[in-house]
Structure 1
Amino acid sequence: MLAALFLVLAACSGDSEEAGSSDDNGNDGGDDASSEEDSGEVFTYDYFDASGPGEDINTSETELGKMFEEETGVNFDIEHIVGDVNQKIGTMIASGEYPHLLNAEQSTDAVIDAGGFIPLNDLLEEHAPNIMKMYGPYLELMKRDDGNIYVISSGAAHGYKKPANLNQGAWFIKRDVLRELGYPQPKTLDDFFSIVEEYTAANPQIDGADTIGFTALTHDWRFFALSNQPMHLAGYPNDGGALIDMDTREAEVYQNKEITKNWLEKLNEINDKGLFDQEAFTQNYDEYLAKITSGRVVGFFDYRWQAAQALDTLDQDDDIYNDYMGFPVVFDENVKDQYLDPIGFTASPGMGITVGTPEEDQIRIIKYLDHIAKEETQKLITWGIEGETYEVDDDGRYYRTEEQVDETSLTEFRDSFGFTYFEWGWPRMNGMYEDGNAVEPPKQEEVASMMYDEGDQEFLDAYEIETFTGLFSEPDERPWYPAYDAPIETGSDAQLYEQQLDDLMKRKYPEIIFSAPSEFDSQWESYLGEFEGLNPEAYEEVITNFVQKKAELVESSRE
């Protein structure tokens, strides 16, 4: 009997130790990821990233990811989007089967409405002091109407730093074109297309293939790369589907306004001249990038981050004239351009933990994200390792040597080190660190000057600028920016307007652009007739309320 009793007691003791133990402070260690970290056990979670294509990889296969695994006991299998985002996320919603961590991009609201994300409020307060610090000024903006935070976006702004190189919208012209025409500087839309027309007429073929005067990105959700242009040309920043009045902070849609008519009329005109890419509305994203890389395209508009894969490839080409240079083009020369983003915070899209993830795994994941949010980790993610990928001078300023600039610009190195996978999407600062160094190395003057080769310097000298944003105006302050971050409730009148407008533009814009010039007015009137059947007022009301509330929260946080 005594032997049996000892066996029972021993078993109970073992069960108690497995369930969790208390630390010196009396805290229960049963849900603490650190206990597994100390044991050397590694936990792998699924992360689906719908922000763009990429190589599927486990984070531990990168140098950064391996470091983070050793420090947290966690790694992630990253899967990137292939095909239609809405369809992929829609399948997840219908099945109720989600990865542990999810960035649903433009389908974020749909996942929230379907109950696919868990509220993060308690997890953040209990286990994520670094995230709370980084996003402190924006925590109220991250909450939905029910008071819950479901996703953590990438980019908590801490001060404005004008970039040395473009990452946002610009009108790109091939360098070979600029050189051949004597380095013209297009300031207006007419200037831009005059350059395109002159060069195409003189060079109907490039490397044995037909020259494409102007192409456009219209595939899937990226259609905004074409439809946003009236806003930019009129001197507004990228606030999405509406213009925001600087004084009243009221939103007004522009897709039925004169500025949109002028934009479409210009495309109709250049199409009649044979300058508009006839495949612009049928090519997919990869085909669009390949076309730019081919060197056949004279000019295009895009957000640099969207065309980065093609432009980075050209930047590494031995022929310096195959690359492109961006310009801040507007309708009228007297209009101030607003292509560079002002300080802003975007609460969505972002990454969230999904339902069905066990509580202990939720804690491990949020602690991993909190580790990412440490300033020392942020510097690893953006700058790398001191003495290897950057140096520090006597004044504490970060810089890179020429060899380090070359190495950190190589796609192969960026992939293997982890820059490619960690720079965006995860919790991330934007602007400046507490010590005054820029978060992004290319925004640091000491780095920007080292990144330019002789080919770059030729064009900087030709346009009498020191950096490739030298021709761009600094942005006006907009405490609500960006307005496109407004949460649109699924099934609401505002959401219905967005969907109907998107369908209308995708159907009618090709008809308007490809029509004979003599038919343009009738095509435009046909488009307006269908637009009048929509309900833009519902959308304007949602955006106006969001802009005014966000501006009030941001301004009050500064007091």
Structure 2
Amino acid sequence: MNRKNVWLVLLLVSLIFVLAACSGDSEEASEDNAENENTETGEDSGETFTYHFFDASGPGEDINTSETTLGQMFEEETGVNFDIEHIVGDVNQKIGTMIASGEYPTLLNAEQSTDAVIDAGGFIPLNDLIDEYAPNLKEMYGPYLEMMKRDDGNIYVISSGAAHGYKKPANLNQGAWWIKRDVLKELGYPEPKTLDEYFDIIEEYTAANPQIDGADTIGFTALTHDWRFFALSNQPMHLAGYPNDGGALIDMETQEAEVYNDKDITKRWLQKLNEVNDIGLFDQESFTQNYDEYLAKITSGRVVGFFDYRWQVGQALNTLQEDEDPYNDYMGFPVVFDEDVKDQYLDPIGFTASPGIGITVGTPKEDQIRIMKFLDHIAKEETQKLITWGIEGETYEVDEDGRYYRTEEQIEETSKTEFRDNFGFSYFEWGWPRMNGEYADGNAVEPPKQEEVASMMYDEGDNEFLEAYEIETFTGLFSEPDERPWYPAYDAPIETGSEAQLYEQQLDDLMKRKFPEIIFADPGEFDNQWGAYTDEFSSLPKEAYEKVITDFVQNKAKLMESSKE
């Protein structure tokens, strides 16, 4: 081979190596681009991502969602799970520490401190993430997405509960005046309609039963701990025939808000408690016990009656329902001031934009996308059915007409706390994106609201009381709610540092300081104590608060009406 040919061979070999190297670089670059694209869109190949979710909505067992049946299914479908941490101690203090340090969990439900986190810049805006990665969430919430927006036009938290029609519940989940079943049975199944009648029952039973199981009987206890003080201060509103709109009464015609904490209805409520205390029926620990102590007291069987929202006292009542003795449970009544008042304890169709869950600052974009895709997966109707009904053939059945129902065995199993925890009902039913009302096929979102389930949920003990009061369900004594397109008014965003926010804080401080003094005062001193309270109240900027609530109510009502057109 001559020199020229050798040179040509060497040149060809060099070109082959160069082309091979370029091809390798191209493939590597292509793989890099694909990896970058997957990272950007949140699509991953088999890897599992765990995020910290701090839930301030209530106490509970800290758990990773993959330890539940539902959570494991969601992890397999999305590659995402969450370490859920529940609140212990004071909510405001815990969230305040996060704000001060600037260190947040990835996903956060800050409850009543939501506005404070938003004002501190702790949540990221979700608008673009929702638009790009959450079509199911957009479909489920519809016009409610607009209500989630703050004054700056951003959505920071996604709330639980997008209404899709109204279904009257078979069992109570809202406010009621509870009386122990054993009391009702002993006294011949009385039906208290007014506040006076309610306390007459407590007085009669307590007089005949000063002790229960060797311990002093507690006539009436109250929850006042921390932010849950509303369980005592909300009653005047309910007794006067209003739903839970928070700190104001809303005029049905003008849709204007008026605070009631200095009105005759509040005076009438406190005066009744003052009388109840004077005859020894009011729990002396009501203003010192914490939430857990309150729940434990109810489950002890010593308490004759109390007012609360079923969702707030559910842990105690669920425990009592699992007791073999049906008379240890409680029955709720729609008590009002006077018989001509129409009760409004059952919530109308409504939407609450806050609190909710939000993604916090400092979360990398790829993690933001993964979490939003997880939330969008939660918003699918088939996922919603998993969360509320469970698995067909295991926790519910479907008849030939497509109606969902549960067998007696399934009803018993799905009512057990241990099962609900293990399956994931306890952790996914609320707090995440969630529907209310009916699914597209006409089945109720919540099994207890399905007629086929409600009729079979009651045991022999339940039926004894249903028959005694001539009702088919435990909401049978409660009125249907009136339509209130703004409901609930307490969802109005209150700007931190504003006069309206100052009113809320000062009122809370004033009530926590003065209500015990009013209730525990000698009856002859009641008027003086009430006068001292209202004198201080008169200096609070209530007009600023009323204006914020009025503007919110009227704007929300207009938005809801326009969404129907």
TM normalised by structure 2 equals: 0.96
Whether 2:179 is the aligned partner of 1:180: answer no
Quote the residue 2:458 is aligned against: 452
Whether 2:26 is the aligned partner of 1:20: answer no
Cα deviations by residue, 1:352-387 (Å, 9 ceiling, x for unpaired): 011100001000000000000000000000000011
Quote the residue 1:25 is aligned against: none
Shift of residue 14, structure 1, vs aligned partner? 2.9
Matches for 1:353-392 after TM superposition, within 5 Å: 353-392=359-398
Shift of residue 29, structure 1, vs aligned partner? 3.4
Corresponding residue SS for 1:466: coil
Is the Cα–Cα contact under 8 Å of residues 225 and 301 in structure 1 kept in the other structure?
Answer: yes
Quote the residue 2:352 is aligned against: 346
Matches for 1:157-172 after TM superposition, within 5 Å: 157-172=163-178
Distance 1:119 1:224 in 2: 30
Cα deviations by residue, 1:478-536 (Å, 9 ceiling, x for unpaired): 00000000000000000000000000000000000000000000000000111011110
Distance 2:343 2:355 in 1: 26
Residue of 424, 430, 437 corresponding to 1:431: 437
Shift of residue 110, structure 1, vs aligned partner? 0.5
Cα deviations by residue, 1:135-175 (Å, 9 ceiling, x for unpaired): 11212111111111111000000000000000000000000
Residue of 107, 125, 128 corresponding to 1:122: 128
Distance 2:33 2:90 in 1: 44
Whether 2:501 is the aligned partner of 1:495: answer yes
Quote the residue 1:192 is aligned against: 198
Gaps of 5+ in 2: 1-13
TM normalised by structure 1 equals: 0.97
Whether 2:526 is the aligned partner of 1:512: answer no
Shift of residue 545, structure 1, vs aligned partner? 0.1
Shift of residue 555, structure 1, vs aligned partner? 0.7
- Which amino acid letter does the alignment assign opposite residue 294 of structure 2? Y
Whether 2:468 is the aligned partner of 1:462: answer yes
Distance 2:363 2:381 in 1: 28
Matches for 1:139-288 after TM superposition, within 5 Å: 139-288=145-294
Distance 2:79 2:18 in 1: 39
Q: Please say which structure displays the higher CA radius of gyration.
A: 2
Quote the residue 1:83 is aligned against: 89
Quote the residue 2:38 is aligned against: 29
Cα deviations by residue, 1:174-206 (Å, 9 ceiling, x for unpaired): 000000000000000000000000000000000
Corresponding residue SS for 2:38: coil
Corresponding residue SS for 1:300: strand
Distance 1:489 1:199 in 2: 48
Is the Cα–Cα contact under 8 Å of residues 123 and 363 in structure 1 kept in the other structure?
Answer: yes
Quote the residue 1:313 is aligned against: 319
Corresponding residue SS for 1:78: strand
Shift of residue 41, structure 1, vs aligned partner? 0.6
- Which amino acid letter does the alignment assign opposite residue 157 of structure 2? V
Corresponding residue SS for 2:40: coil
Cα deviations by residue, 1:269-293 (Å, 9 ceiling, x for unpaired): 0000000000000000000000000
Distance 2:99 2:35 in 1: 38
Distance 2:220 2:22 in 1: 80
Cα deviations by residue, 1:221-269 (Å, 9 ceiling, x for unpaired): 0000000000000000000000000000000000000000000000000
- Which amino acid letter does the alignment assign opposite residue 412 of structure 2? D
Is the Cα–Cα contact under 8 Å of residues 130 and 371 in structure 1 kept in the other structure?
Answer: yes
Q: State how many pairs are aligned.
A: 551
Corresponding residue SS for 1:305: helix
Residue of 418, 427, 446 corresponding to 1:421: 427
- Which amino acid letter does the alignment assign opposite residue 397 of structure 2? E
Comparing 8-17 with 156-165, greater Cα deviation is found at 8-17
Percent of pairs with identical residues: 82
Shift of residue 19, structure 1, vs aligned partner? 4.2
Is the Cα–Cα contact under 8 Å of residues 46 and 99 in structure 1 kept in the other structure?
Answer: yes
Distance 1:19 1:504 in 2: 61
Corresponding residue SS for 1:306: helix
Shift of residue 21, structure 1, vs aligned partner? 5.5
Distance 2:456 2:102 in 1: 50
Distance 2:126 2:32 in 1: 27
Is the Cα–Cα contact under 8 Å of residues 19 and 30 in structure 1 kept in the other structure?
Answer: no
Whether 2:328 is the aligned partner of 1:322: answer yes
- Which amino acid letter does the alignment assign opposite residue 220 of structure 2? F
Structure 1 residue ranges, 4+ long, deviating more than 4 angstroms after superposition: 1-9
Distance 1:225 1:4 in 2: 78
Gaps of 5+ in 1: 23-27
Distance 1:15 1:57 in 2: 41
Distance 1:19 1:88 in 2: 42
Shift of residue 4, structure 1, vs aligned partner? 8.8
Distance 1:252 1:7 in 2: 77
Distance 2:39 2:443 in 1: 40
Shift of residue 10, structure 1, vs aligned partner? 3.8
Distance 2:52 2:480 in 1: 40
- Which amino acid letter does the alignment assign opposite residue 326 of structure 1? G
Cα deviations by residue, 1:318-373 (Å, 9 ceiling, x for unpaired): 11100000000000000000000000000000000111000010000000000000
Distance 1:80 1:506 in 2: 25
- Which amino acid letter does the alignment assign opposite residue 240 of structure 2? A
